[in-house]
Amino acid sequence: MTTMLAEQELAQQEVQEEYVAIRVQDVHRIYQLGENRVHALRGINLDIAKGEFVAIMGSSGSGKSTLMNILGCLDRPTSGDYFLDGVNVAQLAKKELAAIRNRRLGFVFQGFNLLARTTALENVELPTLYAKLEAEERFRRAKHALEIVGLGERFDHFPSQLSGGQQQRVAIARALVNQPSILLADEPTGNLDSRTSVEIMSILQTLNDEGLTIILVTHEPDIAQFARRVITFRDGKIRRDEMVTDRPRAAEVLAEMPTLEED
């Protein structure tokens, strides 16, 4: 009887493990700047299941970007563990980190970070260059990613010929082109007006509905409400972790918002 119970518990644990996309255990990050030590993360514990849509909030300097850089394998914790799809990435070498980053993770930043002299399509194709793909397959994937964000028609435009919202959509397409399992977005609507921000959130909600795990940093409560779960940081620690009730649908909110012409 006791053995059966133990087996059952083990099975449950295994099922749970299978659904964990991200597990962060007692992560600290200390920046050493000459004489100064900045303790940016002070013991972060966090599990994120596959398919979640998490918003991270908190005032400037609270450690949000530091955590995102670690989650995105752009940086490593000073101490603690980070499991991504069950692999402890805190212990991987730089080259292995780069491979994981390119295959499993998509990034979107506040500043879009598009190459100016490069078309939307070429920008989106960039992350595929690491994979050994035929040019035709690259084109097909990049075009498809642009179609997902509603920019299929504008694939040959340069960033300067696109609005801020369109540029951010190109950046989302670029993040999606290698079919990542997790999308990390650090203040993706920080440079956008409110209507365009809701448009971006609508795209993210649709992607999440289709199973993509999304982690988004924002300091706007209205934007965070579009996620399923909101985590609040303060002074390098998680202070609150709550599920969103009555989550609004960005597409519906958009329908109620005045268009620019009406404004």
Binding site residues, ligand ADP, CB under 6 A? 31, 33, 38, 40, 58, 60-66
Q: Residue 218 binds what, of Mg ion, ligand ADP, none (CB under 5 to 8 Å, by partner type)?
A: none
For the bound state, the minimum distance from the C-beta of residue 122 to Mg ion, rounded and expressed in Å, comes to 28
Q: Residue 58 binds what, of ligand ADP, Mg ion, none (CB under 5 to 8 Å, by partner type)?
A: ligand ADP
| Interface residues toward Mg ion, by CB under 5 A | 64-65
Residue with the shortest CB distance to Mg ion: 65
Q: Which residues, including other chains, have CB under 8 Å from residue 107's CB and lie 6 or more apart?
A: 72, 175, 183, 184, 185, 186
* Of 65 and 232, CB closest to Mg ion: 65
* Of 33 and 93, CB closest to ligand ADP: 33
For the bound state, the minimum distance from the C-beta of residue 228 to Mg ion, rounded and expressed in Å, comes to 22
**CA proximity to 197, closest of 168, 171, 175:** 168
Beta bridge mates, 186: 109, 217
Beta bridge mates, 240: 232
**CA proximity to 108, closest of 7, 183, 205:** 183
For the bound state, the minimum distance from the C-beta of residue 97 to ligand ADP, rounded and expressed in Å, comes to 17
Q: Which two tokens stand for residue 31?
A: 């920046």
CA–CA dist 151, 32 (Å, integer):
43
Measured at the CA of 174, the angle between CA 107 and CA 154, to 5 degrees, comes to 140
For the bound state, the minimum distance from the C-beta of residue 118 to Mg ion, rounded and expressed in Å, comes to 26
Strand ranges across the sheet with 229-234: 105-109, 182-186, 213-217, 53-57, 229-234, 237-243
* Of 72 and 159, CB closest to ligand ADP: 72
* Of 65 and 202, CB closest to Mg ion: 65
For the bound state, the minimum distance from the C-beta of residue 187 to Mg ion, rounded and expressed in Å, comes to 7
